[in-house]
Amino acid sequence: MIVLGFQHHAEQGKNLASMLGCGYDEVATHHFPDGESRLTLPLISTEEISEVIVYRTLDHPNDKLVELYMVCSSLREQGIRKVTLVAPYLCYMRQDKAFNPGEVVAQRVIGQWLGEMVDKLITVDPHLHRIRHLDEVVPNTQNIVLSAAPLIADFLSQSAINPLLLGPDEESQQWVSQIAERAGLDWAVAKKIRHSDHSVSVELPRQAVTDRHVVIIDDVASTGHTLADAARLLRQAGAREVSCFVTHALLSGDAEQVLAEAAITHLWSSDSIAHQSNVVSLTPLLADTLRRPPAHAT
């Protein structure tokens, strides 16, 4: 097999290929003034290569999805028998139902499209709400969902801060409790009340946070407002310090400024999206999964 990457996250793709002991090559991308892309793939010998692993995390997804479709279609035309997509961050998973008449259920549409592109999809902590399994979203594909939770737990257990872990909402309870159990840490869960895309309030649990270093655990940091609001409430409740650990550091718009103004001590993340907050590499987790025989992949 060979890992095929893109310039924007070439380092992660190269590291994955190195850990797998296979070759790495890159899609040459040129963007025209009107926004169209010209892509050039390496020539891959179908006699030597049976599987191409396309590494592309899907933050800021619209252009990436179009380019991904062109790449996968071209690989099929070249005669590649198996195309695996490694997308540590998987886009369009939040819109899983129509909240108003006429709304497009983006999760269903994009999931169907991905199912037509690739034979296998590997992702990390997808943002699923009412959907329990990715197979319900991406059909006719071997879907493998991984979690950064063990890596986060190991990072925190090796730190010297002995924090209280806080999940921002009820949906995070299972995830936060797993991290806390593995790391041997205390944990609690807050309540998130969403008023709109840009308006979310947080209600803290009654558990005492006085003089504690609290680490808020979440899968995605997008606008930063939920984390910032929780941090302010925690400080008002007597927390000594407040830090955050997220799997996916999307951090759109002025999110970093929002977090800075909330006096968050540390922002940590995995390298699913390249950012200065990255402290945990997903590469060993991804490589270990790709090494498994197909019959044992789950």
Phi-psi region of 35 (alpha: psi -120 to 50; beta: other; left: phi over 0): left
Q: Which of 45-49, 129-133, 217-221, 286-290 has the highest average model confidence (pLDDT)?
A: 286-290
* Gap between the Cα atoms of 152 and 35, Å rounded: 38
Q: Which of 20-24, 169-173, 254-258 has the highest average model confidence (pLDDT)?
A: 20-24
**pLDDT value of position 262:** 92
* Gap between the Cα atoms of 153 and 94, Å rounded: 25
**pLDDT value of position 200:** 63
pLDDT interval class at 205 (50, 70, 90): confident
Instruction: Give 19-63 pLDDT, tens digit per residue.
Output: 999 999 999 999 999 999 999 999 888 888 999 999 999 999 999
* Gap between the Cα atoms of 6 and 15, Å rounded: 13
Q: What is the mean pLDDT of the chain?
A: 91
Give the domain 149-280 fold.
Rossmann fold (3.40.50)
One CATH from 3.40.50.2020, 1.10.287.130, 1.10.10.60, 3.40.630.30 for 2-147+282-296: 3.40.50.2020
pLDDT interval class at 194 (50, 70, 90): low
Q: Average the pLDDT over each of 97-101, 131-135, 150-154, 190-194 and give the range with the smallest value.
A: 190-194
> Same CATH fold, 149-280 and 2-147+282-296?
yes
* 84 touches 56 (CB < 8 A): no
Residue range 246-263: mean pLDDT, rounded: 92
DSSP state of 22: -
Domain boundaries, the chain: 2-147+282-296, 149-280
